[in-house]
């Protein structure tokens, strides 16, 4: 079984995912890094070149290419919830954990204008955050609030939530 971490950019999917993978003795897969390696350019450049819809399809393809993976912590991009096929796949092969952080906490961690974020054009980061909340909630098997936690504290909390869930790891 795998663990997939979903949530907004800045929620800590990659940083927490690496620590969680180490604690579980699992591998770690950063989907954004896989896209950058495949495309040969930074994520923002890929998003700028492809546009939102094509980027969502590329992200979904990178997730679906993980077929056969086992005992990994997967950190897809925050927009994975827009791709129904990718989310169905993740739900089938992983325990999906939503790293929830309120907008204020995320804005304190990142500058949204400096990150490749799908759906941001013509909207505020808060509007995008609010739109995605229901998508993350619907997709998640578990939700873990990581507001003011360090990466290590968040990884410990996710690990505790996974163990308490009774789901087989």
- Domain for residue 169, yes or no? no
Which structural domain, as residue segments, surrounds residue 41? 2-162
Is 108 part of any domain? yes
**pLDDT band at residue 112 using 50, 70 and 90 as cut-offs:** low
In a domain, 46, yes or no: yes
User: pTM here?
Assistant: 0.94
Q: Is residue 123 part of a domain?
A: yes
Residue 73: CB partners within 8 Å, gap ≥ 6?
Answer: 2, 3, 4, 5, 17, 18, 20, 21, 24, 26, 27, 28, 29
Mean pLDDT for the chain? 93
Q: What pLDDT is attached to residue 65?
A: 97
- Least confident residue range of 8-12, 73-77, 79-83: 8-12
Instruction: Summarize the confidence of residues 57-74 as an average pLDDT.
Output: 97
Q: What CATH number should be reported for the domain holding residue 67?
A: 3.40.50.300
pLDDT score of 125? 86
Q: Is residue 168 part of a domain?
A: no
Q: Is residue 167 part of a domain?
A: no
Let me know: does 1 contact 167? Beta carbons within 8 Å.
Answer: yes
Q: Count of domains in the chain?
A: 1
């Amino acid at each position: 079984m795998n663990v997939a971490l979903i949530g907004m950019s800045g929620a800590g999917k990659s940083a927490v995912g690496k620590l969680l993978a180490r604690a579980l003795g699992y591998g770690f897969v950063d989907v954004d890094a896989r896209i950058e390696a495949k495309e040969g350019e930074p994520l923002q450049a890929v998003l700028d070149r492809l546009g939102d819809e094509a980027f969502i399809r590329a992200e979904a393809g990178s997730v679906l290419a993980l077929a056969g993976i086992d005992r990994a912590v997967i950190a897809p991009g925050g927009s994975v919830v827009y791709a129904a096929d990718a989310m169905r796949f993740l739900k089938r092969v992983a325990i999906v954990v939503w790293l929830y952080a309120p907008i204020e906490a995320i804005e304190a961690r990142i500058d949204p204008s400096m990150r490749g974020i799908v759906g941001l054009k013509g909207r505020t980061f808060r509007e995008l955050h609010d739109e995605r909340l229901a998508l993350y909630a619907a997709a998640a098997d578990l939700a873990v609030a990581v507001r003011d936690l360090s990466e290590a504290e968040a990884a410990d909390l996710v690990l505790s939530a996974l163990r308490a869930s009774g789901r087989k790891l």
